[in-house]
Amino acid sequence: MKKNVKKITALILALSMSLLAMAGCSGTQADSSSESGAPEAGPAAGSEEESSSTAESSAAADKALLVVSFGTSYNDNRDLTIGGVENALQQAFPEYEVRRAFTSQIIIDKLKERDGLSIDNVTEAMDRLVADGVREVVVQPTHVMSGYEYDDVVAEVTPYQDKFDSLKVGRPLLDADADYDELAAAITAATKEYDAEGTAIVFMGHGTEHEANAAYAKLQEHISAAGHGNYFIGTVEATPSLDDVLALVKDSGAGKVVLLPLMIVAGDHANNDMAGDEEGSWKNAFEQEGFEVECVLKGLGQYESVQKMFVTHAKALIAK
């Protein structure tokens, strides 16, 4: 009888150890599966492994800061610009989990097909926040101004107001008058190495038919008022146009032009419309007029001073 008891006890112990080992293997497999399907998270944009672990912890988050950007398919520049803004926000607000959403479905689809990279659009990101049980949400767009893209973000987010204890939407980079002074100071300081006699520094913005397009002229006024007469701002799709800027640069007497994007990322517009070799690019247009041209593919999101502006916007929003 005692021998039977000992055998049964040993068998139970062996079975228990086997079940524990199986549970451990099962948990590891579940984690691995979850990581492979998780959307890219903002602060860990430079590493797929890190982004997966950030997304994996999302279910436990009580507060989330959703950073909404137009997006770009240029991977390296995305990490430096959008990723730079997201990292700055994460460092400033460690109590919040920073998440990412893009507004361009074309870019989202391209990244999924080309790189196997999953990034939420705004609606998907909001649904995920609800499903994860997040209670406090701060949405911080990275748009330069409150144009159509920004309006769309507000429209998509507003219906979720009653889904959270708190839902706040931040303002774009250029909002109050102080923002124009701050951005003017930021971009002139960041480009001071190019600021020399006979050199025109030209920033290319996107442009929009929205009334917010007036932000470009206003920023130009603030830059000129600060004494930077050799800085010029134009747009790809609105006014001031390339022709407008060309005329102003000619009148300035400059012999060299430095081209930079006035956009959060140095993506397709910067690489092709601004710095491309094809007919119609800003680079070619200035070269054909006899200017020496240098292109700098550095988006606004890469500037630490601009990253701090978004942190300031989010801080004011959170404090409300």
Tell me the catalytic residues: 206
Query: Cβ(133)–Cβ(195) under 8 Å?
Result: no
Q: By 3-state DSSP, what share of the chain in percent is helix, strand and coil, each rounded to 5?
A: 55, 15, 30
Is residue 77 within 8 A of residue 263, CB to CB? The reply is no
> Cβ distance 310 to 88 under 8 Å?
yes
Q: For 301, what's the count of Cα atoms within 13 Å in the CB-facing half-sphere?
A: 30
Which of the 8 DSSP states describes residue 271? I
Pairing type for strands 199-205 and 231-235 reads: parallel
- Angle, helix 177-190 to helix 304-319, in steps of 10 degrees: 160
User: To which residue do tokens 């984690």 refer?
Assistant: 31
Nearest Cα neighbor of 199 from 298, 303, 291 is: 291
